[in-house]
Chains A and B, each alone.
Chain A
Amino acid sequence: MSKHFKNKKLALGEQIQKMRSCYPHFVFKLIKRQDVVWIGQIRPSPLSIEYRVRIEHFLGTGPKVTILSPSLRIPDGLKRLPHIYSIDRLCLYTPGKGEWHDGLYIASTIVPWTQLWLLYYEGWLITRKWHGDGTEPTINNSNEPKKKDTFN
Chain B
Amino acid sequence: MRIGTTVKPKGEDEYDVDLVCELKADPSDFPNPIDLLDMVEERLRANQTYDGKIERKNRCIRINYANEFHMDILPACPSPSNFDFHGEHCLKVPDCTLEDWKDSNPKGYAKWFEGKARDATVEFRKSIEALPEQQAYEDLATLPRVVQLMKRNRDVILEDLDAKDRPISIVLTTLAAHYYNGSPSVIDALEYIVFNIRLHTVGTQRIKVLNPTNKEEDFSERWANDAKLYDTFVGWVDNLASSLEALRKTQGLPEIAAQLKVMFGENVTNFVVEDHLKRLTDLRKTGSVATTASGIIVLTETPKSNPIPYNTFHGNE
Residues on A lying within 8 angstroms of B by beta carbon are 22-23, 42-49, 80, 82-85, 91-95, 97, 99-100, 104, 108-109, 112-113, 115-117, 119-120, 122-123, 125-127, 129-139
Contact = CB atoms under 8 A, between A and B. Distances in A.
B313 A91 contact: yes
Interface stretch (B80-88, B167-175, B209-217, B290-298): B290-298
28 contacts: A45-B253, A45-B296, A46-B296, A48-B252, A49-B252, A80-B316, A84-B316, A85-B315, A92-B313, A95-B314, A99-B311, A99-B312, A113-B311, A116-B280, A116-B284, A119-B277, A119-B280, A122-B254, A126-B254, A126-B258, A129-B274, A131-B277, A131-B278, A132-B277, A134-B312, A134-B315, A136-B317, A137-B314
Interface stretch (B58-66, B188-196, B302-310): B302-310
A92 B314 CA distance: 6
A117 B280 CA distance: 12
B233 to A, nearest CB: 31
Nearest to A23: B295
A116 B297 contact: yes
Nearest to B309: A109
Interface string B31-56: 00000000000000000000000000
A92 B311 contact: yes
A106 B296 CA distance: 17
A134 B308 contact: no
B312 A127 contact: no
Contact of A137 (B278, B295, B316): B316
A93 B314 contact: yes
What 9 pairs across the A-B complex have the smallest Cβ distances? A134-B313, A91-B315, A131-B277, A91-B314, A94-B312, A126-B257, A125-B254, A83-B313, A112-B308
Nearest to A139: B315
A134 to B, nearest CB: 3
A131 B297 CA distance: 16
A116 B251 CA distance: 19
Contacts of A127: 270, 273-274
A5 to B, nearest CB: 15
A99 B281 contact: no
Contacts of B284: 116
Contacts of A91: 313-315
B269 interface: yes
Residue among A91, A127, A135 with the highest chain B CB neighbour number at 10 A? A127
A122 B291 CA distance: 18
Contact of A84 (B254, B270, B291, B315): B315
Contacts of A94: 311-314
A116 B296 CA distance: 10
B297 A45 contact: yes
For A125, A133, A136, which residue has the most chain B Cβ atoms within 10 angstroms? A133
B248 to A, nearest CB: 12
A83 B274 contact: no
Given A83-B316, A93-B313, A122-B253, 17 more contacts: A42-B295, A80-B316, A82-B315, A94-B311, A95-B314, A99-B312, A100-B311, A109-B308, A112-B297, A115-B297, A117-B313, A119-B280, A126-B254, A126-B257, A126-B269, A127-B273, A131-B281
A83 B317 contact: yes
B48 to A, nearest CB: 46
Q: Give the interface centre of B254, B281, B293 by most chain A CB atoms within 10 Å.
A: B254
Contacts of B98: none
A130 B306 contact: no
A131 B196 CA distance: 39
A89 to B, nearest CB: 9
B131 interface: no
A44 B257 CA distance: 15
